[in-house]
Amino acid sequence: MMVGMTTAPGPVPVAQQGPRHPLDPEPTTSTKARAVFALGLIGALTGIFVGGVVPSTIALLLARQARREAYASGGFLTGGDWLRRGERLAWTGLVLAAVAVVATVVIGVVRLADAPFGRDYAPNVD
């Protein structure tokens, strides 16, 4: 369970940034943000083949975790740009997969409609 502070609503006062405490960690890019980007890219590249659904879904779930961790770190985890790009690519992969499925269904229905129904007898058979 995470215990946090609550603040009063309204604008946040701008305080002067003093020297950093020596025990403060160095700001670093979140490894999950890079993973989200990589999975989103894979999802976008393979989305048209419907294989992009899995990496895109994992990327979106991982992005949610990475945002929570970045918020909890108080600014020491960076990588928001990587997250945004990865999420966009993941959504692109999901949309491409959906388009591929719809196109396949439409093509299948049209081909089924053109196919003869039942047996096709010779013209001299009653």
The domain segmentation of the chain, as residue ranges, is 83-115
CB 78 within 8 A of CB 86: no
pTM of this structure: 0.73
17-29 per-position pLDDT tens digit: 667 677 777 888 8
28-52 per-position pLDDT tens digit: 889 999 999 999 999 999 999 989 9
Residue 12 to residue 34: CA distance in whole angstroms: 30
pLDDT in the model for residue 42:
97
